[in-house]
Chains A and B, each alone.
Chain A
Amino acid sequence: MKIRGTVEFKDVEMGVWVLDGEDGRTYQLAGGRSALLKEGQRVEIDGDVDTGAMGVAMVGPVLRVRAFRAL
């Protein structure tokens, strides 16, 4: 699936990168390269929501990133 949104860093727990999605949801980014992880960057991400994933961040569903492009 493809999701558009803004990349943000949240200082909770150990610190976590999220995508503030245009669909109104917040996704925890997993597997993103450092080029993706830039505060305020608008991107379109190609990836899958891992419904079985759980973690320490607890900020929203985990989005496993396959690829992305900056908007």
Chain B
Amino acid sequence: MTPAVTWMRARWWLSGCLALAVGCTPVPARTKVSQPGNSRASAVPHALVIDFRDGTPAEEVAERAGRWGLPLRLNSVEGTRSGIAIAEQVEDVDAALAAARADPDVEEAEPLVTVEALAFTPNDPEFSRQWNLRMIRMPEAWELSRGKGVTVAVIDTGIAYEDHDDFVQVPDLAGARFVSGYDFVHDTDHPNDDNGHGTHVAGTIAQRTNNGLGVAGVAFEARLMPVKVLDRSGIGNSADIADAIRWAVDHGAKVLNLSLGGPGYSRVMERAVAYARSQGAVVVCAAGNTGTGQVSYPAAYAGAVGVGALAPDGQLAPYSSYGEALDIVAPGGDTRRGPGNGILQATIDRGDYRKPVLAEYQGTSMATPHVAGVAALLFAAGAKTPDEVERALFAGAVSEGSWNPRAGHGRLDALGALQALGARGPVDWKPLAWSGVLLVLLLLSIQQKLRPGYLNVILNPGTLLPLLISTVGLWFLRLLWQRWTGHSSEAVELLSLPLPDWERILFGRGRLASPIMYSALLPVVAALLALRWRTLRPVVAGLALGFAGFLLYAAWAKAPGIAYLPFTFLARPWLILNGLVAALVCRTMLRREARR
């Protein structure tokens, strides 16, 4: 075959691929408003937005403004490049839109919408007094997770969870989900609360919420496991607590809340905490109420998350312990500032355990269940390991820089943690492995004598880098960034994602993947450029191989849904088709380059 013929064939292939990719890319429905994952769009009265053809000069826009009688102005510094103009205080929006849509230079005209964060506001009458839940952005976080199916053990004074003997159930826990617990103080199967502390803590984690009664809880669809280790005076011993930690984990708890502590180190308890972690549970502990730079045990053990307390103004509460073992801070209240500044939950009266009350307390015990609750939200949202949960908690926390002894990694933020979980999954190397297997198949499909030439092309930084970017992303960027700055950055998080996921930079994190990025479009366009600039061929080969591996792996791993596709079952054929197209692009590039 002469080079000219091969060239013709390559062109034919590439045009075919392009036609296929473009032809198969469904056009987004015109009425659809693009919405980031956690937001809601609503129309702004008397305002509209007009998208002129890109490059429409400002004079033309001004001319239309005069003709239509609209106070049109270009929207941003993007100016004429994007062609997006808006008009406010428009008398008749519908008429103006009709006029604009009739203009051939107008690509789109629609009412202006504001995008606001979605939030769930429960109907519990005392929710308005729960400043603590707003501080950690629960209303927004509840749109993403409510802790469904996750068991949280409350290792404490018990919970007022049932009517039994003298004990009563707190009304605002009626309908909350419970699993069997244990009373290590009296060695019975009825870990009821005779103090009030454990019930208050349990309420912060999973108070019955949106039941028109009392107050709300952080992870109100989680299951509570009452485990009593502290007596009526709120004191217990390290042996019972260590036993209880192991018992709770062995009975299915994924999150352990220990709003308790003491100054004494115990090897037995440290081993119990390590055991809990090794079994996949997160152990969340109160930092202590000494107001000094010494964190209590068990919070100070390596495997535990140590939680300090914040006053309503976000300052460290005066009683809160802090120091080297502090991991995170959460609202714990400051009742010296008067009523309304403590943490309000339903519990039993501290003098009479048969009497349900709403009570405001302060302490690192009150801060701890906020973190335990968010840990449950994270498990319910897909976190698999304690490491993953902790990374998300710390990365999502609001901080003024790196870790410090008075704030740990920062202020707990439920929404931030859930968002960090989404962006910060562990690096998935499988797409790269799929690309490797594909490469072997491609090499087997070509003439034997050319194979060394292909390998030369592949083992070249110009090929390997795009291969890496399109399969696993620049994962090391975020690690380096974290090491240098001590915290995470949204931009770096996104840039460290695989290339097909970069759409999130533009469109935010939705449930559906974009059919433009999750397709062979980018490799095909790059290949067309490589027809003109031949030095690009190795780059395009790497990019296409990466896309092929990524898309085929996505299809195999029960891919995400693809936006705009008319039927959800089309997602996999779509990914397979585009993966094969990308593989062909790679093969074409390799052949052209190896023959050179």
Contacts and interface: CB of A to CB of B under 8 A. Distances in A.
B314 interface: no
A59 B235 contact: no
Nearest to A62: B235
B350 A58 contact: no
A53 B263 CA distance: 9
Nearest to A56: B234
Contact of B230 (A15, A52, A55): A55
Contact of A54 (B196, B262, B319, B364): B262
A1 to B, nearest CB: 16
Interface centre among B230, B238, B365, B366 (most CB of A within 10 A): B365
A58 B286 contact: yes
A37 to B, nearest CB: 12
Contacts of B261: 54-55, 58
Interface in B280-304: 286, 288-290, 296-297
The dominant DSSP class at the A interface is loop
Nearest to B241: A54
User: Which of B263, B335, B350, B361 has most chain A Cβ within 10 Å?
Assistant: B263
A13 B197 contact: yes
B363 interface: yes
A54 B321 CA distance: 15
B237 A54 contact: yes
A60 B235 CA distance: 12
B505 interface: no
Given A13-B361, A14-B197, A62-B235, A56 B156 contact: yes
A53 B363 contact: no
Interface residues of B, number: 38
A23 interface: no
B132 to A, nearest CB: 16
B267 to A, nearest CB: 12
A31 B364 CA distance: 24
A58 B288 contact: yes
Given A14-B197, A56-B260, A58-B321, A26 B237 contact: no
Contacts of A61: 262-264
Give the most central of A11, A14, A15: most B CB within 10 Å: A14
Nearest to B335: A11
Interface in B328-383: 335-336, 350, 361-366
A58 B295 CA distance: 10
Interface residues of A, number: 20
Contacts of A12: 289, 319, 362-363
B290 A59 contact: yes
Contacts of A62: 235, 262
Interface string B546-566: 000000000000000000000
A34 interface: no
Interface in A47-67: 51-62
A30 interface: yes
Residue picked from A10, A58, A60, A61, most chain B C-beta under 10 Å = A58
A12 B366 CA distance: 10
A57 B365 CA distance: 8
A22 B259 CA distance: 29
A55 B262 CA distance: 7
B264 A13 contact: no
B460 interface: no
A65 to B, nearest CB: 12
B36 interface: no
Contacts of A10: 289, 319
Contacts of B230: 54-56
Nearest to A28: B235
A58 B233 contact: no
B233 A30 contact: yes
B236 A55 contact: yes
Contacts of A60: 263, 290
A19 to B, nearest CB: 14
B262 A58 contact: yes
Contacts of B435: none
Contact of B290 (A26, A30, A52, A55): A26
Contacts of B236: 53-55
B529 interface: no
B235 to A, nearest CB: 4
Interface in B236-269: 236-239, 241, 259-264, 266
Interface string A1-37: 0000000001111110000000000100010000000
Interface of B: 156-157, 195-197, 230, 233-239, 241, 259-264, 266, 286, 288-290, 296-297, 319, 321, 335-336, 350, 361-366
**Which 10 interchain pairs have the tightest Cβ spacing?**
A54-B262, A55-B235, A56-B234, A58-B288, A13-B363, A12-B289, A51-B264, A58-B261, A58-B289, A12-B363
15 contacts: A10-B289, A30-B235, A53-B235, A53-B262, A54-B230, A54-B236, A54-B264, A55-B233, A56-B156, A56-B230, A56-B260, A58-B364, A61-B262, A61-B264, A62-B262
Interface of A: 10-15, 26, 30, 51-62
